[in-house]
């Protein structure tokens, strides 16, 4: 049957947790996008790049959320992650508008999410 699709029910997010992030190409894309000075792309090209970054930002945010919720309440890294995740939710809900600025904003978001993800995967700081 052509055009048919199946809806997966995954309330625990197990499917996302099973897939490792393809980090290197997305970090290269972020670096390239943030280095733009005066790009001259068609709006549709900006939209496609923004869609790619949006999808990846959602995947990284899911990993950040999963790691943050596993931390003890006394670990301040979880609270910082929640701030980043609230910011990410707001920025990801904004519509794409096919501009370099929009793409660069999505790139900055991916960068911020990876920074938070890295801090969550570091050993917890020693308490005095």
**Tens of pLDDT, residues 14-71:** 555 555 678 999 999 999 999 999 899 999 999 999 999 999 999 999 999 999 999 9
Gyration radius (Cα) of the chain, Å:
17
pTM: 0.80
Cβ contact 116:64 at 8 Å: yes
Q: How far apart are CA 116 and CA 93, in angstroms?
A: 20
Phi, psi of 99, deg, nearest 5: -130, 160
* Sequence spans of domains, the chain: 42-120
The SS3 of residue 114 is: helix
| Residues counted in the chain | 128
Matching residue, tokens 């995947």: 59
Residue 91 has pLDDT above 70, yes or no: yes
Cβ contact 20:63 at 8 Å: no
> How large is the average pLDDT for residues 85-95?
94
From the list 25, 54, 49, 35, the residue with the least C-alpha distance to 98 is 49
Confidence of residue 4 (pLDDT cuts 50, 70, 90): low
* Average pLDDT of every residue of the chain: 86
The SS3 of residue 41 is: coil
pLDDT of residue 1: 46
> How large is the average pLDDT for residues 112-117?
95
Q: How far apart are CA 87 and CA 103, in angstroms?
A: 16
Q: Which two structure tokens, joined as six digits, stand for 38?
A: 């005066």
């Amino acid at each position: 049957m052509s055009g048919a699709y199946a809806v997966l029910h995954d309330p625990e997010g197990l499917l996302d947790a099973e897939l490792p992030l393809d980090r290197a190409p997305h970090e290269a894309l972020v670096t390239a996008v943030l280095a733009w000075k005066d790009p001259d792309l068609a709006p549709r090209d900006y939209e496609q790049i923004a869609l790619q970054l949006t999808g990846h930002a959602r995947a990284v945010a899911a990993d950040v959320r999963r790691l943050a919720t596993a931390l003890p309440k006394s670990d301040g890294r979880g609270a910082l992650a929640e701030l980043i995740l609230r910011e990410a939710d707001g920025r990801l809900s904004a519509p794409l508008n096919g501009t370099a600025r929009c793409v660069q904003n999505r790139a900055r978001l991916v960068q911020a999410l990876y920074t938070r993800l890295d801090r969550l995967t570091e050993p917890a700081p020693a308490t005095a």
